Amino acid sequence: MPSRLLATTVALLLAPLPLPGGGEPPPEPPASAPVAGPVFLEAVGRAPALDAARRRAEAARARTDAAGRLPDPTIEGMYSQVNTPGEKFPMWEVVLRQPLPKAGERAADRDRAAAVVSMAEADYAVMAGEMAADLALALVEADTSTARAGLLARQLDRTGQLLSALDARVGTGSSRLAERLSLQTRLAALRLRIEEETRRADDARSDAFGLLGLPPGAPLPSWAAPEPARIDPDTTPLLRLSAARVDEARAMARMARASARPMTSVGLRFEREEQRMGNMDTVGIAFMTDLPFRSRGYARAEQRAARAEESAALADAGSTRHRIAAALARAERAERLAGSTRRFAADTAARLDAEYDALSRSNETSVTLAVDILERLTDTRLQIIDADAAARTARAELWRYAPASSFVP
């Protein structure tokens, strides 16, 4: 009688367990879940770090009005007393001087300012992509750990019910005490795993709160990811940033060449001597230039540095293209693996069903075997959760290469 009671309990515990491909929907979001949504991007756009990057871009745009400016004119005055054997008279002089920019310097400065604006705007988009990726990864980890904890909690509940049935059997002397101790050990391990998964979920949500600048407990957006088909290397912010760095390096090279040219200025000079016989006025034109002996060497060093910066930016662009191709291939492989895992899990569930049927038809039901089926069914579901999480993680990484138009400052 106790054996029949235990068999009935095992049947009740195993039958409701949702199997992969069964009627109960999986607790975890599917790998092909939502694409980029406005709520997700709005939450990212309100982050304090992005607000700072947006203001830096505004500052760079404001500085373009000061690029390529002309030097201010200068005025110089002088007063003196002239003593001659015949008389003493005052003399004063005024010089209005206008420094002239070096040839090509203003145009290079304007180009450099435009490149700085492009860099600031591209840097905003790069930071937004990085933040969107980090947020999506945190949401994936939180959702995955929550799903794992929920699945383990169901196994804990079913295992606890098996322990209760086993206690009744032990009381009648029809079961071994070793089975009860084994179940208690499994329950303790399950509780620990649930605590670990819960902590991981809480840590991931804390990371999301920190990224968005939200207080703990605030609502978080749902996970979202860009479509792989929208990832175009030519529109990714990282390549825009590399192109802006190339433009800046070329502008700096032109500024270095201009710095080797002499600085000149022209002026208008007026002088008056107030003598008794009448005032003597002198009007002249002044010209000044420096001799750029030392600046030529400095300019050549600056040009070499600018060329090295340009080469580095071009190398970064090539490396970015390879990283984008690798990320797209990784996302495709992860999606394919998630689909294969679901199919294989369905086959595994069918075999476990057959094993359970054979176990339920036997005269003596083994609690150890029943728990083993529970654990293998749970492991099957965990494999699906992990495979889907890997696919969503790979998709989340694509935010780093999403088009710059996705993030409007």
The pLDDT value given to residue 94: 92
The pLDDT value given to residue 365: 58
- The residues facing 333 across adjacent strands are none
Q: Which residues contact 331 (CB under 8 A, 6 or more apart)?
A: 228, 391, 394, 395, 397, 398
- The residues facing 93 across adjacent strands are 78, 271
Name which of 19-28, 159-168, 258-267, 325-334 the model is least confident about: 19-28
Strands of the sheet with 74-83, listed across from one edge: 74-83, 88-100, 264-275, 278-289
SS3 content of the chain, % helix, strand, coil (to 5): 70, 10, 20
Print burial letters for 295-310: b (CB count within 10 Å at least 16), e (below 16): beeebeebbeebeebb
* Secondary element (H or E) of residue 133: helix 105-171
Q: Which residues contact 311 (CB under 8 A, 6 or more apart)?
A: none
Distance CA 233, CA 240 (A): 10
Digit-coded pLDDT (tens) for 355-387:
777 776 665 556 777 778 888 888 888 999 999
Report the CATH architecture of 2-70+107-260+300-406.
Answer: Up-down Bundle (1.20)
Q: Is 262 helix (H, G, I), strand (E, B) or coil?
A: coil
Contact at 8 Å (CB) between 406 and 41?
yes
Region 75-95: mean pLDDT is 86
For 86, the token pair is 């015949």
Digit-coded pLDDT (tens) for 147-196:
999 999 998 988 888 788 777 765 555 556 777 788 888 899 999 999 99
Distance CA 266, CA 12 (A): 101
Q: Residue 30 corresponds to which amino acid?
A: P
For 173, the token pair is 């002397």
